[in-house]
Chains A and B, each alone.
Chain A
Amino acid sequence: MSEYQALGGRIFTKPFMVLSVIFAISLYFMFDRFVIGGMGAVSNLNGGFAWGIWVVYDVVIGTAFACGGYALAIAVYVFNKGQYHPLVRPAILASLLGYALGGFGAFFDMGRFWQFYEIFLPWNWNFNSVMLEVGLCVAIYILVLAMEFSPALLEKLGKKKLLKSLNKVLFLFIALGILLPSMHQSSLGSLLIAMGHKVNPLWQVMQMQPLLALMTAILMGFSIVLFEASTVTVGFKRNSETHILSGLGKIIVGLLIAFLVVRFGVLTFQGKLGLIFAGDFASFMFILETILFVIPLVILLSPERRAQGSKLLIAGVCMLLAGSLYRFDAFLLTFNPGPGYNYFPSVPEIMITLGVVAFELMAYIVIVKLLPVMHREEHA
């Protein structure tokens, strides 16, 4: 018998219906964007702010939210921490959905979506381009995630032979599933380098961009696992997984300290510490962001607090907000393309993003009910 189980239960619950309404509204605006008016009709994107929430939230932040599978794979398969194994499959599912919809987000942000395949043609490749690395690497990683998740489907379908042969080569996909996010998550930081002066000095750390982006991705990966596991425990009324999660809390502490050391070390080295207290919008955002990074550190440092599910949840949420804000600040909030340009997302633009998130949640709910994703409860 599989160590995983489908949760079962009704599909069309109240939350599911609410989510489907949000998704339906977004379909209307997507139709407008692809068929009637183009991007200008539904978004506030302009000549200075060519990247709005579709890129910055759906892709840059959305894929960081989808780093749970990546972070856990590092813990379980590189550091050989088998006790986190029960969390892996749900995390892989969340990663698959997060990345697939990040890919979809990239598609409807693509100005010339009908020739998206041009980026896959080797004779077009520009090896100087960070975007090329991001595009190809994310595309391959989505396929890798699908392979990593396929055992759940094969178990459900009862394809034992196929499952057995897949398990023999799965280690290759797991290895790729650790390498590829390390590559494109750091590249998401490198995208900022070419934007030069448009990125606020507190976030424009040039050569150090890939390292900071990678560290926040792993941090957010572990935090989303914390968040998802605690939410699922509450939402689906399953036994608490707190004993496993507190160990994750410890890992986050180590990573957070390393991140803050690098972040402030770089700013010190580049002589930018004074800007933190400049009293302008950027300094305010920087301080807010830093507070959000420090709160989970304070919470998770204490073993007593680490043992409490609610505290773990708060720490996870703060960490996710901090990581998101770090990326929002750099790419959008303090981004300054020059005089004459402003950006705030339009309602249709926000609705499309919300619709994508709603679809992601709906898919997650349906799949954990139908496929063996969740670990079988020990005390059931």
Chain B
Amino acid sequence: MKRRDFLKTSLGGTVTAAAALGGTVCSGTAQARPNLEPAPEAVGMLFDSTLCVGCKACVTKCKQVNEMPPVIEGDHIAWDSARDLSGDTLNVIKVYQNGDRSTKDVEIDGFCFEKRSCMHCVDPGCVSVCPTTSMQRNPITGIVTHHPDTCIGCRNCMVGCPYNVPQFQYNEVFGQINKCQMCNQKGVERIDNGQMTGCAEVCPTGATLFGPRKLLLQEAKQRMALKKGDTYNYPRGDISKPDNYYEKEVPDYKQHIWGEKEAGGTNVMHISAVSFDKLGMPPLGERSAPSVVEGVQHALYSYLALPAMALAGLTYTVKKNTSDHDDDDGGES
């Protein structure tokens, strides 16, 4: 074969292989699974930013429940100074500030608080990417849990989480991934015992409200429908059995329930009077990334059918071509 022919063959081969691969992946994705649906008895939380006064009782309670040390910054030993999630901080309250910061819950010249903790995605990226099944979604409650006993620390869950929630303990030689497990991990099991999450229990204003996802979504929609300036009876604690209610003036809610649909939805939902891109929420569409990548993986690797066929073809070709070489130069590499 001349080199010109070889160029043609190799180019042709490349294009064919590319088309085959592209075609397989696209058809596979066409049949790809849709986003996962919420678990049948999904529990979650509703965080209403307009109710949060930034007391950080939830941060302290979270550390107590999870037996984690406070973050100390400078001489401020009276409170936890955690600024973001870390291997030792699973829940944090952040502040949005603009201009002279004179008014709460407005975007210009205002401020508001935002909670950061695991959103407990309905279709969680961390669970999908984990090679060793160390991230799991409870099929009944939808709670996303972490199991360090099988974790190799590849940290794909960290890059695969749209919210940067799983965090590794970088400052320990034998560290581990940590994330909020909705206070239901082994040894804590607050939800299984009929309690609510630590953060919701101590929240004085009901900004963090615990309960079944369905009821929380209903409540969020109800708040969206309220008229600014009216009064509303806000519940506190667990929405299915509130500790108490209190009356408060209705703020100017943005008509957006974060977590109703984002990337398949989340069990922890947020509502706010400041738009979510200003609160650092990621730009997510409705399609979950796991549903796309799993479509690709399964199209290529289901039952290892394609690799097995490719291997058979390659073995035949290589065998044929190595025998040719043997005739040529009597030796093989």
Whether the Cβ atoms of A79 and B151 lie closer than 8 Å is no
Nearest-CB residue, chain B, relative to A41: B171
Asked, given contacts A194-B129, A211-B22, whether A77 binds B322 with beta carbons under 8 Å apart, the answer is: yes
Partner of B84, one of A131, A148, A340: A340
For window 9-38 of chain B, which residues contact chain A by CB distance below 8 Å?
Answer: 9-11, 13-15, 18, 21-22, 25-26, 29
Contacting residues, chain A, for B332 (C-beta < 8 A)? 151, 167, 170
Stretch at the interface among A14-22, A43-51, A286-294, A308-316: A43-51
CA distance A114 to B160 in the complex (A): 23
For window 171-220 of chain B, which residues contact chain A by CB distance below 8 Å?
Answer: 171-177
Stretch at the interface among A60-68, A172-180, A223-231: A172-180
A332-355: contact bitstring with B at CB < 8 Å (1 yes, 0 no)?
000001111100000000000000
CA distance A130 to B295 in the complex (A): 11
Whether the Cβ atoms of B159 and A198 lie closer than 8 Å is yes
CB of B307, distance to nearest CB on chain A (Å): 6
CB of B68, distance to nearest CB on chain A (Å): 15
Asked, given contacts A111-B168, A125-B133, whether A131 binds B154 with beta carbons under 8 Å apart, the answer is: yes
Interface: B155 (CB within 8 A)? yes
CB of A133, distance to nearest CB on chain B (Å): 7
Whether the Cβ atoms of B152 and A118 lie closer than 8 Å is yes
Contacting residues, chain B, for A257 (C-beta < 8 A)? 11
User: For the side of the interface on A, what is the size category?
Assistant: 35 or more
Whether the Cβ atoms of A111 and B177 lie closer than 8 Å is yes
Interface: A317 (CB within 8 A)? no
Partner of B18, one of A34, A118, A215: A215
CA distance A218 to B14 in the complex (A): 10
CA distance A109 to B133 in the complex (A): 19
Contacting residues, chain A, for B284 (C-beta < 8 A)? 196-197
Contacting residues, chain B, for A337 (C-beta < 8 A)? 159, 164
Contacting residues, chain B, for A253 (C-beta < 8 A)? 7
CA distance A301 to B300 in the complex (A): 34
A83-127: contact bitstring with B at CB < 8 Å (1 yes, 0 no)?
001001100100000000000001001111111101101001111
CA distance A119 to B129 in the complex (A): 13
CB of B283, distance to nearest CB on chain A (Å): 5
Whether the Cβ atoms of B21 and A186 lie closer than 8 Å is yes
Asked, given contacts A194-B125, A255-B14, whether A176 binds B311 with beta carbons under 8 Å apart, the answer is: yes
For window 138-174 of chain B, which residues contact chain A by CB distance below 8 Å?
Answer: 148-156, 158-160, 162-164, 167-174
CA distance A3 to B105 in the complex (A): 79
Whether the Cβ atoms of B7 and A250 lie closer than 8 Å is yes
Contacting residues, chain B, for A254 (C-beta < 8 A)? 7, 10-11, 14
Contacting residues, chain B, for A121 (C-beta < 8 A)? 132, 150
Whether the Cβ atoms of B10 and A132 lie closer than 8 Å is no
Whether the Cβ atoms of A47 and B164 lie closer than 8 Å is yes
Whether the Cβ atoms of A338 and B314 lie closer than 8 Å is no
Whether the Cβ atoms of B170 and A45 lie closer than 8 Å is yes
CB of A29, distance to nearest CB on chain B (Å): 14
Interface: B319 (CB within 8 A)? yes
Interface: B80 (CB within 8 A)? no
Interface: A165 (CB within 8 A)? no
Nearest-CB residue, chain A, relative to B9: A79
Stretch at the interface among A202-210, A276-284, A320-328: A202-210
Interface: B85 (CB within 8 A)? yes
CA distance A82 to B325 in the complex (A): 7
Partner of B290, one of A85, A128, A171: A128
Nearest-CB residue, chain B, relative to A129: B131
Contacting residues, chain B, for A214 (C-beta < 8 A)? 21
Interface: B292 (CB within 8 A)? yes
Nearest-CB residue, chain B, relative to A152: B333
CA distance A209 to B207 in the complex (A): 41
Contacting residues, chain A, for B58 (C-beta < 8 A)? none
28 contacts between A and B (CB under 8 A): A37-B173, A40-B170, A45-B170, A47-B158, A78-B321, A79-B13, A82-B324, A85-B325, A111-B152, A115-B149, A124-B133, A126-B128, A127-B297, A127-B301, A128-B298, A129-B131, A131-B131, A131-B156, A135-B154, A171-B319, A179-B310, A195-B159, A195-B160, A208-B22, A255-B11, A255-B14, A338-B163, A340-B280
Known: A36-B173, A128-B290, A129-B156. 5 other contacts (CB 8 A): A39-B168, A80-B321, A106-B154, A131-B154, A262-B22
